[in-house]
Amino acid sequence: MSRVTARRRVVRLDGADGPVRRRGGEEHMAAEEPLELRIGGRPFTVTMRTPGDDFDLVAGHLTAEGVLAAPDDLVRMKFCSADNGCSSTAYVDGEASLAFADGDPLNIVDVTLAPGVELPEERLRRSSYVTSACGVCGKTSIDAVHAAARWPVAHDDVKVSAETLFTLPDRMREAQKVFAKTGGLHAAALFSADGELVCLREDVGRHNAVDKVLGWALRAGRLPLREHVLAVSGRASFELVQKAVAGGIPVLAAVSAPSSLAVTLAAESGLTLIGFLRGRTANVYCGPERIID
């Protein structure tokens, strides 16, 4: 059984045509489970996520943290049990139903980094807890983002037409297979400058969805993502701007509002930030020169 969704019994209340009526039923819900990331067997962080594309999530998170830059930076990723027993079964992207013989879910991933890829010791000592709502809220300053940026986006001269921008939310929604079933997932979609969908990932956490896109790009050897547009289904937070900058993505478009700190970081990084992308309207908060009529 897939762990991406779960079925739960519900009581539906219906008062649309008069007195309230109750009726039973079942509903598909987006799954949410913890994923612990270990590096060399040592705990690094825990995030709440929707199972599936877990290796992309891990690789993307480490890319956004400035640890990884190329596929060769990763030697191995493997699922482990709580007592450090590790799965020898290869993980297949998109398949979320793998499990140990005893039935324990695969909610721990252990990463082996290539020689020379360093992880600051203070991060290993500070095992942070990340929720699906806020990610790494407040722990990354604007100065730290600039210092960690491997591929500055300010000089990316990509141009995107307004007409192309207007099509992105619908194209993203059409590709959201799990959202169509549950209505409960965020999406991050990577597009070419002419509007071709390159990669889409879903998750209960908007930051996880973006990490999954970054991880896919890293593992495919496609970083930096110059001349691309990242579209997200929710609001544009500081953290999402930080992740776009970390991936070398010059344009970030959100269907909802940006935060003030997100706008500040985008402006200082030279990233084009678009919010309220709905129908045939949008607000361009930074970098309007990349948007052409």
CATH of the domain at 116: 3.10.20.10
Instruction: Label each residue of 135-160 as H, E or C.
Output: ECCCCCCHHHHHHHCCCCCCCCCCCE
pLDDT of residue 15: 85
Decide: 107 and 35 in contact? Cβ < 8 Å.
yes
pLDDT of residue 120: 54
Residue 83 has what pLDDT?
A: 65
Tally of CA atoms within 13 A in the half-sphere of 49 that contains its CB: 32
pLDDT at 132: 45
Is residue 266 one of the residues assigned to a domain?
Answer: yes
* pLDDT for res 116: 92
Count how many residues are written for the chain: 293
Q: CB–CB of 188/216 below 8 Å?
A: no
Residue 210 in domain: yes
What's the pLDDT at 92? 34
Quote the CA–CA distance of 180 and 202 in Å, as a whole number.
11
Q: Does one domain contain both 129 and 167?
A: no
**Residue 76, pLDDT above cutoff 50:** yes
Q: What is the pLDDT of residue 123?
A: 44
- Residues 247 and 173 placed together within one structural domain of the fold: yes
108 with 174, same domain: the answer is: no
Whether 100 has a pLDDT exceeding 60, the answer reads no
239: helix, strand or coil: helix
Q: Which of 142, 175, 206 is the last residue of a domain?
A: 142
Task: List the structure tokens of 112.
Answer: 């082996």
Residue 81 identity: S
Residue 239 has pLDDT above 70, yes or no: yes
Which tops the pLDDT comparison, 224 or 29?
A: 224
Residue 131 pLDDT > 70 = no
Question: Is the same domain home to 278 and 182?
Answer: yes
249 shares a domain with 215: yes
Share of the chain above pLDDT 70, in %: 80
Q: For the chain, first and last CA: distance in Å?
A: 48
Would you state the pLDDT for residue 181? 66
Residue 28 confidence (pLDDT): 74
In percent, the amount of the chain with pLDDT more than 90 equals: 62
Position 26 in a domain: no
Q: Exactly one of 86, 134, 137, 199 is catalytic; which is it?
A: 134
Better pLDDT: 25 or 33: 33
Quote the CA–CA distance of 53 and 119 in Å, as a whole number. 23
Measured distance CA(242)–CA(266) in Å, rounded: 8
Q: Kindly state whether residue 27 falls inside one of the protein's structural domains.
A: no
Are the C-beta atoms of 201 and 187 separated by less than 8 Å?
yes
84 assigned to some structural domain: yes
Mean of pLDDT values over 55-73: 95
pLDDT tens, 216-234? 999 999 999 999 999 999 9
pLDDT in tens, 193-210: 999 999 999 999 999 999
Distance between CA 99 and CA 67 in Å, rounded?
28
- Does residue 213 have a pLDDT over 90? yes
Q: Are residues 283 and 174 in the same domain?
A: yes
Is the domain of 284 the same as that of 186?
yes
CATH assignment of the domain containing 183 = 3.40.140.10
The runs of H, that is alpha helices, within the chain are 54-64, 121-125, 142-148, 162-174, 177-182, 206-219, 238-246, 260-269
DSSP 179: H
194 inside domain = yes
Helices (H), 224-272: 238-246, 260-269
Supply the mean pLDDT for the chain: 84
**Based on the structure, what is the number of domains in the chain?**
2
Torsional class of 111: left (φ above 0), alpha (ψ -120 to 50), beta (otherwise): beta
129, 164: one domain: no
Last residue of a domain, one of 142, 172, 201: 142
Phi, psi of 141 (to 5 degrees): -85, 165
Q: Residues 165, 134: one domain?
A: no
Neighbour tally for 286: CB within 10 Å? 21
User: Mean of the pLDDT values across residues 28-45?
Assistant: 88
Active site residue 134: yes
In a domain, 7, yes or no: no
pLDDT band for position 10 (cuts 50, 70, 90): confident
Per the structure, the complete domain to which residue 85 belongs is given by 33-142
The reply to whether 108 and 191 lie within a common domain is: no
Instruction: Pick the last residue of a domain from 108, 142, 176.
Output: 142
Q: How high is the pLDDT of residue 182?
A: 64
Same domain, 198 and 85: no
Residue 97 has pLDDT above 90, yes or no: no
Q: Is the pTM of this model over 0.85?
A: no
60/215 Cα distance (integer angstroms): 4
Contact 261, 283 (CB under 8 A): no
Please report which helix (H) or strand (E) contains residue 5, including its range. strand 5-14
CA 58 to chain centre: 10
Which range (79-83, 188-192, 258-262) has the least confidence?
Answer: 79-83
Verify that 72 and 134 share a domain, yes or no.
Answer: yes
Residue 74 pLDDT level (bands cut at 50, 70, 90): very high
Asked whether residue 21 is assigned to any structural domain, the reply reads no
Please give the pLDDT value at position 151.
95
